[in-house]
Structure 1
Amino acid sequence: MKTEHSFNEQFEFAGKAKTWSLIGIVIGVVGILYGFLLDHSEMGVQRTFSNLLLMSYYFVCICIGGVFFLAYQYAAQAGWSAAFLRIPQAFVRVLPIAALIFVLVVVAGLFTTHNIVEEGKTVVAPYLYAHWATHGLTTPGSENYDAIIAGKSAVLSIPSFIGAIVVFLVAYTAFGLMLVKYSQLEDEMGGMSNYSKSFKIALIFLVVFGFTYPVFAFDGIMSLEAHWYSTMFGWYNLAALHVATLSIIALTLILLKKSGYFDWITENHIHSLGKLIFGFSIFWTYVWFAQFFLTWYANMPEESVYFYKRWEPEYKWWFWLNIILNFCAPLFMLMSRDAKRYYSRMTTVCIVLIIGHWLDYYLMIMPGTVAEHRAFGVQEICIFLGFAGLFSFLMLNALSKFKSLAPVKHPFMDESLHHQI
């Protein structure tokens, strides 16, 4: 491979990037301590648990998105992306930690209980998943008995629920780490054998992922409101995961290039990422609208309760801001060809979409967990910054462990270096 670029330089994780990541982590810890220790109200603790679920879910989804991006690039035998595959590979290396944090938050939320008053009676309920995990909901004769929840008890019981989440996360992590391993072996050994293994693993992962990720989304988020059900919810979550992951990949790539790394990356690579971000933002909007419109059109009260909650005064303006950030912003800012080639424009859109899909997850989680005394403040801002700092620290640290920022013996590396659109 003839090129004027040198691929021997490793990424050095130091300076402002490390400092700001650590500051973010500290702010997050302060926010969590404030929610659990200083905000003594039940709703304060509830908001803290809900925000921990929100951000741990967002965190793990971004890392799973890294596996997904690698897998469909290998499955499509795409050449354009080879030059920056180390970035999603760094996401994958963080996935075991992200998965552990998510499982710990879920378990803590299920086994930490508090008293709530429902229909004039006091009920002991967990802070998370109370709609199905409250004691007595599936026990015939209990004053808390709920026939709908009892009908779903095979899936919505604590052992099967936690077991399914753990199995899915272990599977996604194993596939992702195999793709990273084969890429590294490819650089050491050369040849096509490791690329062929990556291709096969990618195909198997995509089949497994396609069937299991909707169930993962149903369990992790939709079951917070266990009476409600939508067959579109899993794909809606997948679209959000993909757009957010693409935005973070593009933002990381642009910032590192401005810092002197990835000098072989051109506006053509950023353009291609911009096309994916634009296209999947439109797909996200399609699923968002279809789920909303079909519920309204069918005029089914038992289904519309999900959106009724999100049209209450505390959430209604967030509801419409969600569509502005995640649809209108990429539509108007990335529609033209030139817009996708301007680093400043792409940076702005990526930041908007990262915040936008945080808001998207916020609207999926908060109305179903925080029943009264809703607010927005310290917990939301601090925990977001904390997880952003944690992800940045772990991802950039993982990136610094690669011997080279480019998979130099990837069979399509030369094609990627000469990518033109």
Structure 2
Amino acid sequence: MTEKFDFSAAVKKPLIGVAIAGILFLIIGFAMGIMGGGHHDAHADHAPKVEQTAGHDAHGAHADASHGDEHAAGGHHEEFSWTKRVKASLWHNAVFFLGIAAAGILFFAVQYAAQAGWSAPVQRIPLAMGNWLPIGAILLVIISVVANHDLFHWTHEYLYVKGTPEYDPILDGKKVFLNFPFFVVRMVLYVALWIVMFFQLKKNALAEDANGGDQYWFKGRKLSAIYIIIFAVTGVTASWDWLMSIDPHWFSTLYGWYVIASWWVTGLAFICMSVVLLKENGYLKEVNSNHIHDLGKYVFAFSVFWCYLWFSQFLLIYYANIPEETIYYVQRLQSGPYKPLFFINIAINFIFPFFFLMTRDAKRHGLFLKIACPAVIAGHWLDFYLMVAPGILKGNGGLTFIDLGFFLVFGVAFIWVFLTNLAKHPLVAPNHPMMEEAKHHHI
């Protein structure tokens, strides 16, 4: 008999409870924003200052200027409003959860492309994650169109008027690529490619369920290889557009891979946690402690890989000490709202999973993974917060009820779509040619 997941009322009730908590947090956050007036100088508190080194004064001045929402001269002074926090949080969560969905499809594709047998019983979990892609893509496009001036400093037209105090020659030099119409075209192209490839992979997998035969497995391998190549390119360029351009003068050649690593390890943690919870509730009968061990190793290994990229990017910028590069870290290390979060980020995303999941037993038992995986997911949500908030909110950042509320609401919506689609089809692919090998998987 084909195993199917039942998205029952017992599963829905706690999700609804979390969603209500998220909405209450948002109401509290909105009320605090409205009552607090919400308007004050964005540079008045916690504005980081760059200590310029000899020979780099001019570059440092440009770098410092790039992190304002306005050029003070010329009458384009913008005050901070609590609604800007709302837009920043919406963008943060939209990018974060869309990337997790894309990472789920990447895991599915990697298993097919690598001809992996061990993962056959869990392949429907990452595939179901991809159903968030169309919803997440629509949200991303809408938010970017509605909030573009608040999210991206480079969208202000006055920056490109030569001969005015606000003219920014650096951004003018990037205008061929960094202009809003082309930005939207690229965004639509990226998400359209991901969605098309997801539906092709899903269609092939369901055809395999219905008809059997190795031809679907071989076709899945080809489609998977194509998706991996597409995502490797567009995932990097999307990170430049959606995240790095928030700080438009700053750049890092490692940034794209760093962002993909953060998406990837979050997706792995979500897959691992889902498998553990499904197994504990009587599903995934073909899954044993060896499969769970492999998923735990994925989370452990790529937490280390993420830290390798994090440290590599930080170290190269730190010892070069070029102001237009160091401004990114100055803003996160010398600004009150972000400095504690900067160190919590590395602690929760590397130090904790490294030591907590180091032993063999920790990676094989659900108790450990039910602690580690949610911590990794929350930790990388914080990682994305540090990519987004400092460039948009400046010294007015710091986690608020608005941020936590959107995290819970987006999280419940993502899980709801995931579980709804998981329940529509067989939980374990009945005709996967590697299933017999997976039943005897042992490490």
Aligned to 2:157: 135
Given candidates 215, 218, 238, the residue that maps to 1:193 is 215
Aligned to 2:263: 241
Q: Distance in 1 between matches of 2:171 and 2:26?
A: 31
Q: Aligned-pair RMSD on alpha carbons?
A: 1.5
Aligned to 1:39: 33
1:202 has 2:196 as partner: no
Aligned to 1:346: 369
Q: CA deviation at 1:268?
A: 0.6
* TM-superposition CA deviations, 1:175-206 (whole Å, max 9, x none): 11111110110111111111111111111111
Q: How does 1:315-354 map to 2 (within 5 A)?
A: 315-354=338-377
Q: CA deviation at 1:258?
A: 1.4
Contact 2:337 2:395 in 1 (8 A): no
SS of the equivalent of 2:394 reads coil
Given candidates 318, 342, 351, the residue that maps to 1:296 is 318
Aligned to 2:132: 94
Q: Distance in 1 between matches of 2:379 and 2:355?
A: 15
Q: How does 1:5-44 map to 2 (within 5 A)?
A: 6=1, 8-32=2-26, 39-40=33-34, 41=38, 42-44=80-82
Q: TM-score, normalised by structure 2?
A: 0.87
Contact 2:29 2:400 in 1 (8 A): no
Aligned to 1:365: 388
Q: Distance in 2 between matches of 1:28 and 1:219?
A: 29
Aligned to 1:224: 246
Q: CA deviation at 1:307?
A: 0.1
Q: Distance in 2 between matches of 1:103 and 1:166?
A: 8
Q: Distance in 2 between matches of 1:330 and 1:35?
A: 31
Aligned to 1:121: none
Aligned to 1:258: 280
* TM-superposition CA deviations, 1:42-80 (whole Å, max 9, x none): 432111111111111111011000111111111101011
Q: CA deviation at 1:30?
A: 4.7
Contact 2:209 2:432 in 1 (8 A): yes
SS of the equivalent of 1:405 reads coil
Contact 2:33 2:82 in 1 (8 A): yes
Q: Distance in 2 between matches of 1:274 and 1:255?
A: 14
Given candidates 375, 378, 383, the residue that maps to 2:406 is 383
Q: Distance in 2 between matches of 1:344 and 1:80?
A: 22
Bigger CA drift: 290-299 or 34-43? 34-43
Contact 1:99 1:169 in 2 (8 A): yes
SS of the equivalent of 2:377 reads helix
Aligned to 1:72: 110
Contact 2:26 2:401 in 1 (8 A): no
1:163 has 2:157 as partner: no
Bigger CA drift: 11-20 or 186-195? 11-20
Q: Distance in 1 between matches of 2:206 and 2:367?
A: 32
* TM-superposition CA deviations, 1:262-304 (whole Å, max 9, x none): 1221111110011111111111001100110100111101100
* TM-superposition CA deviations, 1:371-390 (whole Å, max 9, x none): 24334221011111111111
Q: Distance in 2 between matches of 1:134 and 1:93?
A: 35
Contact 1:43 1:372 in 2 (8 A): no
Contact 1:20 1:389 in 2 (8 A): no
Q: TM-score, normalised by structure 1?
A: 0.91
Aligned to 1:114: none
Q: Does the C-alpha gap of structure 1 residues 45 and 345 become closer, same or farther in structure 2, counting only changes over 3 Å?
A: same
Q: Does the C-alpha gap of structure 1 residues 107 and 28 become closer, same or farther in structure 2, counting only changes over 3 Å?
A: farther
Aligned to 1:61: 99
> AA paired with 1:201?
L
Stretches of structure 2 lacking an aligned partner (at least 5 in a row): 39-79
Q: CA deviation at 1:134?
A: 1.3
Count how many residue pairs are aligned between Structure 1 and Structure 2.
398
Q: Distance in 2 between matches of 1:379 and 1:271?
A: 37
Given candidates 277, 289, 301, the residue that maps to 1:279 is 301
Aligned to 1:82: 120
Contact 1:22 1:393 in 2 (8 A): no
Q: Does the C-alpha gap of structure 1 residues 198 and 57 become closer, same or farther in structure 2, counting only changes over 3 Å?
A: same
Contact 1:10 1:400 in 2 (8 A): yes
Q: Distance in 1 between matches of 2:394 and 2:297?
A: 40
Q: CA deviation at 1:419?
A: 1.1
Q: CA deviation at 1:26?
A: 3.7
Q: CA deviation at 1:32?
A: 4.7
